Amino acid sequence: MKGTTVNHRRRELAHDYALGLQHYLAEPEEPALARAHELGRKALTDGLGVLEMATIQSQAMSSVLTGSFADGDQAHVLEALEKFFVEALTPFEMTHRGFWEANAVLHRLNDVLEGQAKRIASALHDEAAQLLASVHLALADVASRLPPDRAKELQAARGLLDQIEQRLRNLAHELRPPILDDLGLVPALEFLGDSMSKRWGFRVMVQASIEQNLSATVETTLYRITREALTNIAKHAKATLARVSLQQAAHQIVCSIRDDGVGLDATALVNGNRSRGLGLLEIQERTAALGGSLRLGPNEPRGTDLTIEIPLER
Amino acid sequence: MADHMADKDGEARVRIRSSADIMAARQQGRALASQGGFSSSDLSIIASAISEVAQNIVQYANSGEIIITLINNTTKKGVEIVAADQGPGIGDVSRVMRDGYSTGKGLGIGLPGAKRLMDEFEIASEVGKGTTVRMKKWVT
């Protein structure tokens, strides 16, 4: 249904556009250009894209160019065609600039949220953990002065406290891995590689060359993506080696995680292998949030190559 | 039809009451800006910004005026466009400058769109008195 309406509107617009263009050729004056602007605006609100506008222009062109022109005429007509087209595209220029602005605002917002997450994470990690430690001490003190059977009851409460502590720690880590602030990105990645290596039994090599300080958001994203990718490798790739490489290129940061495992099974990604698919989805979303792109393909001579490119603010 | 005039060099005033006047304002703007040394695509951009502010007058104030002036400083050259009306005015200016307020769909056309096309943009409004938009674009 929706498709039909859009098609209908598109046809109607193409028709009006061709008429407008003919008017402009017959009388190259402001009213026709104002009409071009209106048509562009209408196309925009109807949900047409710039490419569709190009098609509409091109169709209108072929309809007016069927006759033959003298040489002088032809240059004149071509100029008119261009003017009319530019006029019809100016509303798109407005929106386009609007999207740039919105994008910049989103980036700033992202940084603000990241800063907030950082503060909450450190409050959870440091302050709440300290308070819990004091509670532990206080309880231990009370327990030492109770008869043994009563002290045992307190033990259960202390077990619950331990659980709370663990949960807070996990939550803090989810929000912003504290190690990023304690050690910095590259040592944090090396540490991550080591612990993955110990836990899952494949080697992880981290190689990085970064010249400038990255924003907290970019750091956290790179850390999480690497963790997610290494977890994927651990669970599915049957690899013996994973290489994490972090390179700063002109205006962007390139992060690739390559393994020598069984390689990518595209069908498994789409169908059965939910856990791997979800991990990838998360990586994709995190990358997209920073305006970056993701490539997933085979690694040479074997395994998988996941490469992420994230633009850096200029 | 449209009662407009280029009353002195480098300035044009156009009364805005209908869509026909929008065209006249665009035409005057384009002609002056062309004299002022703007590129062809900038002329379209200026005409477009004029369309948006003029449309706003027709839609919300019924009538108003657009004054286009060439600016010729020692340092900068450009064009100033003032769109003034004695319409109902806008209570919350920041609200109309938000995308999607008057034009729907958050597409960034209308007044916010005009602002993005120009280099400078100010809007002043008082309820019951009217609205004045003053915008400038510089020759680059």
Kindly give, in sequence order, each residue whose CB lies less than 8 Å from that of residue B79, ignoring residues fewer than 6 positions away.
Answer: B29, B32, B33, B36, B38, B46, B68, B69, B70, B71, B136, B137
Kindly give, in sequence order, each residue whose CB lies less than 8 Å from that of residue A146, ignoring residues fewer than 6 positions away.
Answer: A154
- Judgement on whether residues A30 and A149 belong to the same structural domain of the protein: no
- Judgement on whether residues A160 and A205 belong to the same structural domain of the protein: no
Chain CA centroid to CA A232, Å: 19
Q: Check CB contact under 8 Å for B117 and A91.
A: no
**Considering chain A, what percentage of its residues have pLDDT values greater than 90?**
30
Residue A17 pLDDT level (bands cut at 50, 70, 90): very high
Residue A271, pLDDT score: 46
Q: For the segment A95-136, what is each residue's pLDDT rounded down to a tens digit?
A: 889 888 888 888 888 888 888 888 888 888 888 888 988 998
A268, pLDDT greater than 70: no
A165, pLDDT greater than 70: yes
- Judgement on whether residues A233 and A285 belong to the same structural domain of the protein: yes
**Domain containing residue A215: CATH number:** 3.30.565.10
- Judgement on whether residues A246 and A138 belong to the same structural domain of the protein: no
- Judgement on whether residues A202 and A291 belong to the same structural domain of the protein: yes
Residue A78, pLDDT score: 84
- Judgement on whether residues A168 and A265 belong to the same structural domain of the protein: no
**Last-in-domain residue among A175, A202, A233:** A175
- Judgement on whether residues A301 and A184 belong to the same structural domain of the protein: yes
Residue B99, pLDDT score: 65
As given in the structure block, the two tokens for residue A135 are 């509670």
Residue A152, pLDDT score: 83
Residue B8, pLDDT score: 61
Among A56-60, A171-175, B11-15, the range scoring the smallest mean pLDDT is A171-175
B116, pLDDT greater than 60: yes
A179, pLDDT greater than 50: yes
User: For chain A, how many structural domains are there in total?
Assistant: 3
Measured in angstroms, the CA of B45 and the nearest CA of chain A are apart by 6
Query: Most A CBs within 10 Å: which of B27, B44, B68, as the mutation test of the A interface?
Result: B44
- Judgement on whether residues A245 and A259 belong to the same structural domain of the protein: yes
Domain that holds residue A245: 178-311
DSSP type of residue B19: H
DSSP type of residue B2: -
Chain B residues within 8 A of A29 when measuring between CB atoms? 27
Residue A264 pLDDT level (bands cut at 50, 70, 90): confident
Angstrom distances, CA of residue A300 to CA of A232, A263, A297, B69: 19, 10, 10, 65
Residues of B with CB under 8 A from a CB of A: 19, 22-24, 26-27, 30, 40-41, 44-45, 47-48, 51-52, 99, 103-105, 107-109, 112-114, 116-117
- Judgement on whether residues A139 and A209 belong to the same structural domain of the protein: no
Which residues share a beta bridge with B122? B134
A267, pLDDT greater than 60: no
- Determine the CATH number of domain B4-138: 3.30.565.10
- Judgement on whether residues A259 and A270 belong to the same structural domain of the protein: yes
B104, pLDDT greater than 50: no
- Judgement on whether residues A204 and A281 belong to the same structural domain of the protein: yes
A265, pLDDT greater than 70: no
**Last-in-domain residue among A145, A175, A205:** A175
Touching B: A residues 56-115, CB under 8 Å:
83, 86-87, 90-91, 93-95, 97-99, 101-102
- Judgement on whether residues A201 and A92 belong to the same structural domain of the protein: no
Q: For the segment B29-67, what is each residue's pLDDT rounded down to a tens digit?
A: 999 999 999 998 899 999 999 999 999 999 889 899 999
Chain A residues within 8 A of B103 when measuring between CB atoms? 45
- Which strands, in side-by-side order, build the sheet including A304-311? A203-209, A241-249, A252-259, A304-311, A293-298
Measured in angstroms, the CA of A53 and the nearest CA of chain B are apart by 16
Residue B102 pLDDT level (bands cut at 50, 70, 90): low
Mean pLDDT of chain A: 85
Look at the pTM and tell me if it is higher than 0.80.
no
**Domain containing residue A81: CATH number:** 1.10.1240
Q: For the segment A201-229, what is each residue's pLDDT rounded down to a tens digit?
A: 999 999 999 887 888 889 988 998 999 89
**Last-in-domain residue among A153, A175, A197:** A175
Chain A residues within 8 A of B116 when measuring between CB atoms? 94, 97-98, 101
